[in-house]
Amino acid sequence: MSEKTETRSPAPRPPEPATGRLRVLAPPVTGQEFVLLGVIAVVWVLLGLATPAFVSAGSIQPLLGAVAPIALIGIGMTVVIITGGIDVSVGAMIAVCSVIVAKLVLVQAGLGLLVALLIAIVVGGLLGLGNGALIAYGRVHAIIITFGTANIFLWISLRLFNSTTVNNIPDTLASLGNGAAGRTVGVPNSFLVTILLAAVAWVYLRHTAGGRHFYAVGGDPLAAELAGVRVRQRVLVAYVLTGLLTGLASCVVVAQGSNLGQNVGNGKELAVIAAVVIGGTSITGGRGSVLGTVLGALLVQTVASGVTQLGWRSELSDLFVGVAIIIAVGADLIRQRARKR
Amino acid sequence: MRSMLSRTAAVVVALSMAATFSACTKKNSTAESGGSGSAAGGTIKVAFVPKLQGIPYFEAMNAGGKEAASKLSGVEWLYQGPTSADAAAQSDIVNSYIQQKVNALFIAPNDPDSMAPLIKQGVDAGIKVGTSDTDAPNSARELMVLMASAEGIGQADTDALMKAMGGKGKFAIVSCGETAAQLNQWIAEIKKYSQSKYPDAKLVDTVYAGEDVAKATQMGTDLMNAHPDLKGFIGVCSTAGPGVAQAVQNAGKIGKVLTVGMGTPNDMKKYLDNGAASAGVLWDAKALGCLTAWAGQQLAQNKQLQATQSVSECGLDGVTYDSSTKILLMGKPLTFNKETAGNYNF
């Protein structure tokens, strides 16, 4: 017992040598992020040369708007995957949050923007809390729990849709949409919010003890526990965070159309996980960054838009995204092996 | 250890409870006409398995089928579908209707090829099996209830768009799945018909967005960027129709880029009102459901279908039957605009 108390409050240590510090804290921009930035830059230049309209405002603005919901949820998913977990319920969570916002809050109650945002975020947070509590305290693997809750969420959303499409959604959320009302100095507001939140998350994960603890949990939960990290609480926070962000992203989804069908959010969990993995976050936990995730989402949407604008066959974008995921995971494995040596 | 076991047990119980709940609700909402077992008292049971339940289009068909059952004496209408357009889940439902020995069974197959063996099984069990809305051409089905011919739909789409575009200019098609045979037939007809009837119009691209409105919108946006002189879109499925209209609205190109979509009237209404869509093309889904129930009764009573007939219960005239293909054709698609979209409630 006395041993344990000792490990929880470690005695002050002598400062570590500089090389050790570098190995603990990854560089501000990692190798994979540089590669991604380079790939995106090259693809944009090539697309700009092939079809000049690609680099026009009319093309880039909607592209950033389409990236926003995936990248927003991706911030939370990055944290979840860093802790060694995964959340496959975010697609169904989008369905619950967006039908509540579109049908109950906007169409039926006619409430305003801030109320809609608040309700969506709270609902998302509660769903995330359900996931987090089951995973942190139930000790069943995250993929099983979130697969289960995904089906429950889906059921909730289908009951709320009640076999009808939500039509004539008022443009209360237009400031998050893809129209002219949704842009500030030419940039979609939804994307600005994404960048802002990603920046906050980046600083938090990198430079605060609470943020570093997520990495510790994913790296080795037992060691983290012994080092005094509150593992369960960190895991819980990761899923709640994902829920909150999914609620916010749902408002962006609702804002982008005037109808809402019951298949909303369908398959989006895979799009989000793809962005996180392409962004260089290790699927086994312990490493990753939200900057990479935002870049990953941007690359996926760039490829999809590029394929359409070049007049290539639509299914080619699936191929390119698949190859990008394999390369990203392969690069991660190679790095892991190099580190072990 | 014990606490972990009990936790796991709690999770399992919670999950299975939720599963039971959802199963109950599904049953209640679908087989509400109740009653099981064989056709007691000469009641003819006509079952319809949609691609998925819960979407307005198939719910409208269900409403039509129910209405027909109330008008036709001795017909009971059963309706159940999977909650997503999943071929395996649909097969389970078809299977259960075969076990229940309904008299007539209609299917809108998600995967026509994988449905064929089950259709054979149903026919062998003495059930009259047909398809409605979507065909399974290489199967033992005894009837296909078709809303409109591919030619009819392709022509209606093309005529509606060309009327808005003045018969000339570049246009593009946004579709759902690349392997959807029916959509591909319509696209082929649009290509053929626009080339012969509107030589000044040019189809520049056909893209596939899946059943995703946001993706259809994004692809529509990309196409407008790739072809700055693009003048029109046809969205040939229920998510692409509203999707391309939203793209035009987002780009502020209402009136410059014209769209025609195969969305439901309710989905298209807002875009028809603000001018982002010029017209919608669909058929009366309720009447199709009604005709399906009627056809089920005819089949179960072994009545011969006429080459041309009126089905007054469904308000349909000129319903034609082709005995070589075994296709019962409801009629022409309907083209609706902002004035007439309000006449339909789906």
pLDDT tens for residues A173-215? 999 999 889 999 999 999 999 999 999 999 999 999 999 999 9
| Look-up of token digits 């209830």 | B145
- Whole-number pLDDT of residue B34: 38
What does the mean pLDDT of chain B come to? 88
- Whole-number pLDDT of residue B338: 93
Q: Yes or no: say if B313 and B72 are a contact pair by the CB < 8 Å rule.
A: yes
Would you place residue B25 in the very low, low, confident or very high pLDDT band (cuts 50, 70, 90)? Answer: very low
- Whole-number pLDDT of residue A19: 47
- Whole-number pLDDT of residue A8: 45
- Whole-number pLDDT of residue B26: 40
Higher pLDDT, B9 or A132: A132
Domain locations in chain B as residue ranges:
33-147+285-332, 150-282
Residue A257's closest chain B neighbor by CA? B246
Domains B33-147+285-332 and B150-282 share a fold: yes
Q: Give B121-175 pLDDT, tens digit per residue.
A: 999 999 999 999 999 988 999 999 999 999 999 999 999 999 999 999 999 999 9
CA distances (Å), B119 to each of A113, B109, B215, B297, in order?
51, 10, 34, 18
Among residues B102, B32, B97, which one has the least CA distance to residue B62? B32
Superfamily of domain B150-282: Response regulator (3.40.50.2300)
Q: Do B213 and A259 touch (CB under 8 A)?
A: yes
Locate A103 and state its tokens. 């049908």
- Whole-number pLDDT of residue B154: 96
What does the mean pLDDT of chain A come to? 90
Would you place residue A88 in the very low, low, confident or very high pLDDT band (cuts 50, 70, 90)? Answer: very high
Domain locations in chain A as residue ranges:
61-266
State the amino acid at position A241 in one-letter form: L
Locate A168 and state its tokens. 């004539």
User: For A321-334, what is the mean pLDDT?
Assistant: 92
Sequence-separated (6 or more) residues with CB below 8 Å from residue B158 = B190, B193, B194, B197, B198, B234
Q: Do A257 and B252 touch (CB under 8 A)?
A: no
Whether the per-residue pLDDT at B275 is higher than 60: the answer is yes
- Partnered with residue B106 across adjacent β-strands are B48, B130
Q: What are phi and psi of B299, to 5 degrees?
A: -65, -45
Going by the DSSP 8-state scheme, the letter that residue B106 receives in this structure is E
Higher pLDDT, B317 or B1: B317
Whether the per-residue pLDDT at A90 is higher than 80: the answer is yes
User: Is CATH 3.40.50.2300 the right assignment for the domain spanning B33-147+285-332?
Assistant: yes
- Whole-number pLDDT of residue B7: 52
When mean pLDDT is compared across A279-288, B20-29, B113-122, B289-298, the lowest value belongs to: B20-29
- Whole-number pLDDT of residue A169: 93
- In whole angstroms, give the CA distance from residue B195 to residue A132: 58
| Look-up of token digits 């949704």 | A182
Residue B273's closest chain A neighbor by CA? A168
- Partnered with residue B173 across adjacent β-strands are B206, B234
Min distance A47 CA to chain B CA atoms (Å): 11
Nearest to A167 among B19, B207, B266 (CB): B266
Higher pLDDT, B235 or B179: B235
Whether the per-residue pLDDT at A332 is higher than 90: the answer is no
- In whole angstroms, give the CA distance from residue B333 to residue B319: 13
Q: Give A7-33 pLDDT, tens digit per residue.
A: 444 444 544 444 444 456 778 788 888
Q: Give B197-226 pLDDT, tens digit per residue.
A: 999 999 999 999 988 999 999 999 999 999
Q: How far, rounded to the nearest angstrom, does the alpha carbon of residue B103 sit from its chain's CA centroid?
A: 23
Nearest to A179 among B18, B219, B250 (CB): B250
> Chain B contacts of A56, Cβ < 8 Å?
225
| Look-up of token digits 């804290």 | A25
State the amino acid at position B68 in one-letter form: A
Whether the per-residue pLDDT at B18 is higher than 90: the answer is no
DSSP for A118-156 reads HHHHHHHHHHHHHHHHHHHHH---HHHHHHHHHHHHHHH
Locate B43 and state its tokens. 């009641």
Q: Across the A/B interface, how many CB contacts are shorter than 8 Å?
A: 140
Nearest to B15 among A148, A179, A180 (CB): A148
Going by the DSSP 8-state scheme, the letter that residue B32 receives in this structure is T
Residue A264's closest chain B neighbor by CA? B212
User: What is the SS3 assignment for B202?
Assistant: strand
User: For B103-128, what is the mean pLDDT?
Assistant: 94
Whether the per-residue pLDDT at B178 is higher than 90: the answer is no
Residue A50's closest chain B neighbor by CA? B226
Q: Do B224 and A58 touch (CB under 8 A)?
A: yes
User: What is the SS3 assignment for B320?
Assistant: strand
Min distance B8 CA to chain A CA atoms (Å): 6
Q: Do B225 and A165 touch (CB under 8 A)?
A: no
- Whole-number pLDDT of residue A28: 79
- Whole-number pLDDT of residue A338: 85
Percent of chain A's residues with pLDDT above 90: 79
Q: What are phi and psi of B345, to 5 degrees?
A: -115, 65
